[in-house]
Structure 1
Amino acid sequence: MPAVTAPPLGGHTLLVLLVQASLLLAAALLLGRLAVVCKLPAVSGELAAGVLLGPSVVGWLAPDFHHWLRMSQQSQAHLLDSVGQFGVIFLVGTTALEIDLALVRRTTRTSVTVGAFGLVIPLGLGCAWALLAPATLLQAGRDRGLFVFFVGVAMCVSALPVIAKMLSDMRLLHRDVAQLTIAVGVVDDVAGWMLLSVASATAASTLTPRSVAAPLIRLVLITACAMLVCRPAVRWLMTRARRPHTVMATTTVLIVGCAAATQAMEMEASFGALVGGLLVGTAGPEARRVLVPLRSVTLSVLAPLYFAEAGLRMNLFALGTPVIALAALSALVVATVGKFAGALLGARVVGLGRHAALVLAAGANARGVIQIIVAGVGLRLGVLNTASYTIVVLIAVGTTLMAPLVLRWAVRHIPLNDDERARLRQEKALTGAS
């Protein structure tokens, strides 16, 4: 008997998807650019685009148009979400290409110490907050233990892409403390993805020692396989992929393939994308140079579309009750205090000065991209409901908006050294800046 083939996508369904994607992307680019002009991270404007087209604004002001767009219809939302998932996979994968593992190795003691303090303290405070959170923030029928663990993970992550972008936009990458902030971001980023993978794997069952041990064992196996088998294989592939389009296609297959592999292992696909990007990044600077167009498309099209789509799921009316609004405010305070205190304490333990410690704390507190991804995963897995998802995303935006203010003030109090002056002169020579 011949296999039954699935019918093609309906004409009206395709039309709505194209209208959704074009409207979201146009609004994301416009509001993202407006945010940059206002010296704010672009991600804040891109999220605002989704909120604008979602139930909080368009759904309230023009319900008929919102209904035609099928923004709340499950099957149509899944189509748009699938496009967004490619955005996050390529965002994580291409960001991993830029991780300087040599820098991490050179600053291992400092970056690991600061990163560890900046993870453990907010993780503990986040779990404590989730234990006391109102029951209305829990998804119906879900175990509070898993909610507590997931919220703790969301509270402790940092956003390496946002940190690197902020420091670049502020022209601080020539400073030693900026390089150290990126190294700490790498530590937090990798640890955060590992914790997210554990949280995702346990979402299918009750949180038990066995459910936590299984994904940790998988993480060890993935790391060993990546270092011992995949790393030399990827280098061999990249040396033979001489043409730029071949390098780009090979990288795409590796990032998506690694994402599929970790998803098949009941871990988060984004962690696989991170591993794939790291593997390609070890192939040398030439491969990274060829992949600049892929990163440009990701940052200018796929990522804004993902963040706008993430904003669609936010419903500000969910914060309308005093209990939920108070919970949101307290969550923001706990997240900020936990991350600041953790990174600040870690920096002081390794002997850094007060202003350098503040720079590290401000950078680590920028949750941005990663916390939004964590929130999306929590909503997709049924761990978070609309109200708790909205709170987590608001924390991501709020902490990201705080970071530039503290960074500008603290860096001004750290004098330039000779190495930093040399790097600044080299940077100006390369860019033609005066």
Structure 2
Amino acid sequence: MATWMVQVSLIITLSLVLGRLAEKVGQSRMIGEISAGLLLGASVFGVLWPNGYAALFFNDSLEDLKVLADLGLVLLMFEVVWHTSFMHTGKIRNARLIPLVITLFGVSLTFLIGCLIATMSKETLAPDIALWPYVFFCGLALSVTALPVLIKIINHLGCMSTSTASIALSSAIYTDVLAWVGLAFLVAFNSVEKTSVVGGLVSILSLIGFCGISFYMIRPLISFLCREQVPDRNKSVQLVFAICYCLMSAEVTSQLGFHQAIGVVIAAYVFCKVPGLQHTWRLTIGEFAHVFFIPLFFAYSGLQVSFGYFLQFDTWLWLGIFAFGGFFGKVVGTYLAGRICGLSPAIAMEVGLLMNTKGLVELVILNIGLQLGILSEKAYGIFLIIALLSIVTTPPLMNCFAKLRGDDANVQIKGSK
């Protein structure tokens, strides 16, 4: 049997077990899947059974695993855009303005704090990496919010008003958009440093041109051809066309010097309104992807973390500083923006706590940073642990705040009907 087959069997089995355990205690399945990678890495499995680890997870075999993990990332990112259907704000006054202001305040403050901490930590965490790409990357990674994880947390928590959930979800969507735009410019900035200003400018203009073609030519064409539900016998054709465009878009952005995840997001927005596609996807590709490919991506993210770095005091010190800075920036920035927009203190604080949730988008950004050499392995491990901590701690913090606020559970926006 080929080594990658044993790897995959071991990973998906352990991911299933740990994912179920995570769900049993009210956490996201992603926690268990990343933990599977951490346990199978050199710092745990490699220490407990060195010969077994050397036989299964040698460098060449990890290249095969990375291909499957990248495919899992592509399939997962294609689904993320469908979460925007949750963006509803009911009868809240200034429903579109409030989430936008919250996003700008929360992202800006967290980004600045992240850049400041990164500047101070650079010599310790990333001495061999260029300053500005590392600094901007840390600011970006610290300021994102995990929309899919946030949706699951809101669905499991019954201690918040509809206003809180709506504003948090809408703000997370805007944050995702800013994160992808920021990531695209960061990758372009990094390519300029490695090549030339002209080459970087050509890449950016090419990406903008591809976005224009996708949104203003391909998307209207798809909408025209699929304006009605297609018969069941033709749904496979629709699905194949969506997958092929997704993969082609990922390859185009990859060839332009950007990560394939950016191309997948572009393709996802092209096909997100196709009637019946979401249902067909989830019954066919989605079900298999969440059992097979996506756990491989999360586990591969965990495999790249070395616990050896966490034997050093400075690693824990910078982890604590980054974690506190990210929490402070998100909660305080969101709270101030919410109060300026007229939210009650209770709702503003709830939204701030929810916006600190990290997850999928940060994992994608971290993997891109590691691949491009913008992020060191030590910093990668720190940010991955921060992402896990934010997911684990958000539900307890929300429940604790719900008990503290008491009768304010149904407080609404000032002036809302």
Q: Is this a same-fold pair by TM over 0.5?
A: yes
Structure 2 residue 262 is matched with structure 1 residue 280: no
Which one of 17, 25, 28 corresponds to residue 41 of structure 1? Answer: 28
Question: 2:66: which partner in 1?
Answer: 81
Is this contact kept in 2: 1:198–1:215, CA < 8 A?
A: no
CA distance in 2, matches of 1:253, 1:310: 26
Percent of aligned pairs with the same residue?
21
Q: Could you list the per-position Cα deviations for residues 62-101 of structure 1 after superposition, in whole angstroms to 9, with x for gaps in the alignment?
A: 11110001x241x221211111011111111112123139
Which sits farther off after the overlay, 378-387 or 207-216?
Answer: 207-216
- Distance apart, 1:349 and its partner CA: 1.8
Which one of 334, 343, 363 corresponds to residue 354 of structure 2? Answer: 363
Question: 1:27: which partner in 2?
Answer: 14
CA distance in 2, matches of 1:351, 1:210: 46
Change (3 A) 1:212 1:176: farther
Change (3 A) 1:28 1:101: closer
CA distance in 1, matches of 2:207, 2:344: 36
* Structure 1 residue matching 2:248: 3-state secondary structure: helix
- Distance apart, 1:380 and its partner CA: 0.9
Which one of 259, 270, 292 corresponds to residue 282 of structure 2? Answer: 292
Question: 2:415: which partner in 1?
Answer: none
Which one of 234, 240, 243 corresponds to residue 222 of structure 2? Answer: 234
Q: Which ranges of structure 2 fall in alignment gaps of 5 or more residues? A: 413-417
The aligned amino acid for 1:94 is E
The aligned amino acid for 2:190 is A
Superposition pairs of residues 2-401 of structure 1, within 5 angstroms: 15-69=2-56, 71-73=57-59, 75-100=60-85, 103=88, 107-138=95-126, 140=128, 142-170=129-157, 175-206=162-193, 217-218=205-206, 220-239=208-227, 242=231, 243-284=234-275, 286-293=276-283, 294-401=285-392
Is this contact kept in 1: 2:89–2:166, CA < 8 A?
A: no
- Distance apart, 1:36 and its partner CA: 0.9
Q: Could you list the per-position Cα deviations for residues 289-341 of structure 1 after superposition, in whole angstroms to 9, with x for gaps in the alignment?
A: 22222333333332222101110001111121112221111111111111212
- Distance apart, 1:201 and its partner CA: 2.6
The aligned amino acid for 2:48 is L
Q: Could you list the per-position Cα deviations for residues 239-278 of structure 1 after superposition, in whole angstroms to 9, with x for gaps in the alignment?
A: 4854232222222122222222222222221122112112
CA distance in 2, matches of 1:215, 1:104: 37
Change (3 A) 1:266 1:138: same
Q: Which ranges of structure 1 fall in alignment gaps of 5 or more residues? A: 1-11, 418-434
CA distance in 2, matches of 1:383, 1:279: 30
CA distance in 2, matches of 1:345, 1:338: 10
The aligned amino acid for 2:278 is R
CA distance in 1, matches of 2:204, 2:89: 23
- Distance apart, 1:398 and its partner CA: 0.9
TM normalised by structure 1 equals 0.85
CA distance in 2, matches of 1:266, 1:173: 43
* Structure 1 residue matching 2:266: 3-state secondary structure: helix
Superposed CA RMSD: 2.6
CA distance in 1, matches of 2:358, 2:203: 24
CA distance in 2, matches of 1:391, 1:299: 26
The aligned amino acid for 2:114 is G
